[in-house]
């Protein structure tokens, strides 16, 4: 399969990247690992005039621990390097698990963290061949006004199936963008719109790096992924959980779901469950029930929607149980 | 963009320790250049979207998918294809093991499997069975059922491959 024609650029510094973007006319797209963008281009779902590879910008490919113990992860750090960095790191275990389960070894060697977080939403009625696109009238995501997944829907339900965004959100990661020579920081959860057709509200800004807070004592995290095959596949449901333990009590809990909506779903209203109480199985069940109630998958990717929703409940329970078990040891 | 006036470039790719000068278009993937320009057809073209692993090559010792890598991004890197594994007609231990353990049937996935396994040994000379499975999770084989492939890789790990011709 050939790619459509485009002009290729490979700036070597952030400054040249900035100048390039200011002077470019027409649609330009940033290329990093290419494992998600190039298949979409091959299927002619997207045909940019310009492709700007940022792999040659050395500043973007490192993980640094700053003086204040914050961790800075450059946008083009490969998923495999990210997984190795967080291996056997208890507070950031969720990131290791999620990164280690992305695609295949070849994909992890190529794909970057920036590309993984900013991957496009997917739908079995959108990620289709050119022949299919010629026959079927366009859906919301292809610029039309039909939804094949949910009849008569006025919006797009394409699913965000990134693995690593959910752990970044529960661990309170931030993303730093470059826009008009200014650097802007945003919490990772704020970069999503929730609209499947246009999943990110980052405009023309360019992702530079991610910043994770210093790992405090007592934070532990985990990630659970549900997929058809135990390798290769995107999550058809995923749960990231982080808990903070202070004075042998659970002080805070954060849960984020992926693969069930057009953006990662941050579970709300769970703080009440943990105040002043020990987390019994019954309480964990109640928390899982809340996660279940806030997940609304529809039939537009692999797997049955009801089953995916049920798995959210099951995985949330298992994740919290596993975390509590690991700190009580 | 129309096909007319597409800019071509002359680049140098280091493949199997040899420099190749090739004229490419920006859009050409490494796989296309390997197979259709340099006639290194050992690397296979199957799904084209990174799901099957048949096009796996090593770039700086790491297994990557040549169907999802632009040829232009391969400049200045050390690329190894299946043709570069055997030296002077002498097969590597992995190649011998694949023959000895019958890890080949139709052979279409084999070059990808061998490159993925070579990448694994570059990274980890003593992998567990789970690590072996994980390293070839992106390579699809419809004949062998994977067991013989895993046995062959384990045989290399355990140095059980005979050094005959």
Model confidence band, residue B165 (pLDDT cutoffs 50, 70, 90): low
Model confidence band, residue A250 (pLDDT cutoffs 50, 70, 90): confident
What percentage of chain B has pLDDT greater than the value 90?
91
Q: Is B26 on the interface with A (CB under 8 A)?
A: yes
Q: What is the pTM of this model?
A: 0.94
Respond yes or no on whether ipTM tops 0.85: yes
Centre a 10 Å sphere on the Cβ of residue B87 and count the other Cβ atoms it contains: 10
Model confidence band, residue A276 (pLDDT cutoffs 50, 70, 90): low
Mean pLDDT of the region A128-142: 93
Mean pLDDT of the region A47-51: 95
Q: Is B18 on the interface with A (CB under 8 A)?
A: no
Beta carbons of A38 and B51 less than 8 Å apart: no
Nearest CA in chain A to B140: A232
SS3 A108: helix
Mean pLDDT of the region B150-154: 97
Residues 76-135 of B with CB under 8 A from A: 116, 119-120, 133-135
Write the residue in B51, B65, B139 that is nearest to A110 by C-beta. B65
Model confidence band, residue A149 (pLDDT cutoffs 50, 70, 90): very high
Q: Where are the alpha helices (DSSP H) in chain A?
A: 14-23, 37-42, 79-85, 93-100, 105-110, 113-117, 130-135, 165-170, 271-274, 281-294, 305-328
Mutate to test the interface with A, among B5, B8, B25, B26 (most CBs of A within 10 A): B26
Q: Please enumerate residues of A whose Cβ is less than 8 A from a Cβ of B.
A: 1-8, 10, 31, 34-35, 38-39, 42-43, 47, 49, 51, 53, 55, 80, 103-107, 109-110, 230-232
Nearest alpha carbon to residue A298 among A250, A268, A251, A262 = A262
pLDDT mean across residues, chain A = 93
Beta carbons of B73 and A55 less than 8 Å apart: yes
Model confidence band, residue A1 (pLDDT cutoffs 50, 70, 90): confident
SS3 A5: coil
Write the residue in B6, B68, B136 that is nearest to A35 by C-beta. B68
As a whole number of angstroms, the distance between CA A33 and CA B50 comes to 12
Beta carbons of B26 and A34 less than 8 Å apart: no
- Whether B1 shows a pLDDT value over 70: the answer reads no
| pLDDT per residue as tens digits for the range A8-34 | 999 999 999 999 998 998 889 999 999
pLDDT at A274: 77
As a whole number of angstroms, the distance between CA B10 and CA B120 comes to 33
In sequence order, the β-bridge partners of residue A139 are A146
Chain centre to alpha carbon of residue A261: 12
pLDDT at A271: 79
Q: Is B36 on the interface with A (CB under 8 A)?
A: no
Write the residue in B25, B63, B70 that is nearest to A109 by C-beta. B63
How many residues are recorded in chain A? Answer: 329
Beta carbons of A38 and B137 less than 8 Å apart: no
Q: Where are the alpha helices (DSSP H) in A136-202?
A: 165-170
In sequence order, the β-bridge partners of residue B20 are B13
- Whether A277 shows a pLDDT value over 90: the answer reads no
Q: How far is B63 from chain A (nearest CA, A)?
A: 5
- Whether B4 shows a pLDDT value over 80: the answer reads no
User: Within 13 A of B133's CA, how many CA atoms are on the CB side?
Assistant: 10
Q: How far is A68 from chain B (nearest CA, A)?
A: 32
Nearest CA in chain A to B62: A109
- Whether A248 shows a pLDDT value over 80: the answer reads no
- Whether A279 shows a pLDDT value over 70: the answer reads yes
All residues of chain A having their beta carbon less than 8 Å from the beta carbon of residue B5 are none
Which position has the token pair 């997917």? A122
pLDDT at A113: 97
As a whole number of angstroms, the distance between CA A56 and CA B74 comes to 12
Centre a 10 Å sphere on the Cβ of residue A256 and count the other Cβ atoms it contains: 25
- Whether A234 shows a pLDDT value over 90: the answer reads yes
| pLDDT per residue as tens digits for the range A153-175 | 999 999 999 999 999 999 999 99
SS3 A188: helix
Mean pLDDT of the region A83-88: 94
Mean pLDDT of the region A182-190: 94
- Whether B80 shows a pLDDT value over 90: the answer reads yes
In sequence order, the β-bridge partners of residue A71 are A65, A212
Beta carbons of B65 and A7 less than 8 Å apart: no
Higher pLDDT among residues A216 and A208, named by residue: A208
All residues of chain A having their beta carbon less than 8 Å from the beta carbon of residue B134 are 105, 231
pLDDT at A273: 76
- Whether B2 shows a pLDDT value over 60: the answer reads no
Beta carbons of A104 and B1 less than 8 Å apart: no
Which position has the token pair 């900035």? A18
Tell me how many residue pairs between chain A and chain B have CB atoms under 8 A apart. 96
| pLDDT per residue as tens digits for the range B6-58 | 889 999 999 999 999 999 999 999 999 999 999 999 999 999 999 999 999 99
Q: Is B25 on the interface with A (CB under 8 A)?
A: yes
Write the residue in A7, A49, A106 that is nearest to B64 by C-beta. A106
Q: How far is A282 from chain B (nearest CA, A)?
A: 35
DSSP string of chain B, one letter each residue: --STT--EEEEEEEETTEEEEEEEETT-BHHHIIIIIS--TTS--SSSSSSS-TTEEEETTEEEEGGGSBGGGGTTSEEE-GGGTSBTTBPPHHHHHHHHTT--SS-TTHHHHHHHHHHHHHH-SS--HHHHHHHTTT---SSS-SHHHHHHHHHHHTT------
Domains (range + CATH), chain A: 1-54 (3.30.43.10), 66-212 (3.30.465.10), 219-328 (3.30.390.50)
As a whole number of angstroms, the distance between CA A193 and CA A210 comes to 19
pLDDT at A322: 93
Q: Residues 6 or more apart from B85 whose CB is under 8 A from it?
A: B91, B92, B94, B95, B114, B118
As a whole number of angstroms, the distance between CA B139 and CA B89 comes to 26
All residues of chain B having their beta carbon less than 8 Å from the beta carbon of residue A47 are 1
pLDDT at A329: 64
Mean pLDDT of the region B89-105: 94
A253, A243 contact by CB (below 8 A): yes
pLDDT at A43: 94
Model confidence band, residue A79 (pLDDT cutoffs 50, 70, 90): very high
DSSP string of A300-326, one letter each residue: SSSS-HHHHHHHHHHHHHHHHHHHHHH
All residues of chain B having their beta carbon less than 8 Å from the beta carbon of residue A57 are none
Beta carbons of A106 and B53 less than 8 Å apart: yes
Model confidence band, residue B163 (pLDDT cutoffs 50, 70, 90): confident
Mean pLDDT of the region A290-304: 94
CB burial string B108-139: b at 16+ within 10 A, e below: bbbbbbbbbbbbbbebeeebeeeebbbbbbbb
Q: Residues 6 or more apart from B19 whose CB is under 8 A from it?
A: B12, B13
Mean pLDDT of the region A123-147: 94
Nearest CA in chain A to B30: A2
Which position has the token pair 């109630």? A293
Mean pLDDT of the region A190-211: 94
């Amino acid at each position: 399969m050939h790619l459509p024609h485009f002009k290729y650029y490979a700036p070597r510094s952030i400054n040249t990247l900035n100048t390039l973007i200011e002077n470019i006319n027409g649609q330009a797209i940033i290329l990093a690992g290419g494992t998600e963008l190039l298949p979409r281009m091959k299927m002619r779902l997207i045909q940019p005039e310009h492709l700007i590879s940022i792999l040659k910008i050395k500043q973007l490919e490192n993980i640094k621990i700053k003086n204040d113990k914050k961790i800075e992860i450059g946008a083009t750090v490969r998923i495999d390097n990210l997984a190795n960095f967080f291996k056997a790191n208890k507070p950031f275990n969720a990131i290791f698990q999620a990164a280690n389960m992305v695609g295949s070894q070849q994909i992890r060697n190529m794909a970057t963290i920036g590309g993984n977080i900013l991957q496009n939403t997917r739908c079995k009625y959108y990620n289709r061949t050119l022949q299919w696109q010629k026959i079927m009238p366009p859906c919301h995501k292809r610029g039309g006004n039909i939804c094949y997944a949910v009849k008569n829907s006025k919006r797009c339900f394409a699913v965000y199936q990134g693995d690593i965004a959910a752990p970044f959100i529960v661990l309170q990661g931030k993303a730093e963008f470059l826009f008009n020579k200014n650097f802007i920081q945003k919490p990772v959860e704020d970069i999503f719109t929730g609209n499947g057709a246009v999943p990110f509200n980052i405009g023309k800004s360019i992702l530079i790096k991610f910043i994770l807070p210093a790992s405090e004592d007592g934070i532990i995290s985990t990630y659970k992924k549900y997929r058809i095959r135990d390798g290769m596949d995107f999550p058809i449901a995923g749960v990231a959980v982080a808990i903070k333990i202070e004075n042998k009590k659970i002080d805070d809990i954060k849960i984020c779901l992926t693969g069930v909506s057009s953006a990662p779903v941050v579970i709300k209203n769970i703080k009440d469950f943990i105040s002043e109480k020990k987390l019994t199985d019954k309480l964990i069940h109640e928390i899982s029930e809340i996660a279940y109630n806030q997940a609304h998958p529809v039939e537009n990717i692999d797997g049955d929607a009801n089953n995916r929703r049920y798995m959210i409940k099951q995985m949330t329970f298992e994740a919290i149980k596993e975390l509590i078990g690991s700190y009580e040891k | 963009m129309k096909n007319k006036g597409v800019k071509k470039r002359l680049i140098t790719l280091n493949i199997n320790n040899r420099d190749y000068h090739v004229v490419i278009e920006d859009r050409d993937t490494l796989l296309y250049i390997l197979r259709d320009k340099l006639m290194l057809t050992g690397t296979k073209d199957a799904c084209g979207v990174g799901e099957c692993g048949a096009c796996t090559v090593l770039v700086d010792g790491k297994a990557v998918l040549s169907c999802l890598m632009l040829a232009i991004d391969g400049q200045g890197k050390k690329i190894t294809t299946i043709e570069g594994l055997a030296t002077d007609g002498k097969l590597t231990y992995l190649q011998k093991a694949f023959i000895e353990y019958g890890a080949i049937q139709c052979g279409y996935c084999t070059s990808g499997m061998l490159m993925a396994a070579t990448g694994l040994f570059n990274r980890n000379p003593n992998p567990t069975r789970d690590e072996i499975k994980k390293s070839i999770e992106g390579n699809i084989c419809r004949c062998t059922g994977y067991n013989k492939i895993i046995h062959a890789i384990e045989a290399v790990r355990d140095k059980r491959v005979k050094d005959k011709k």
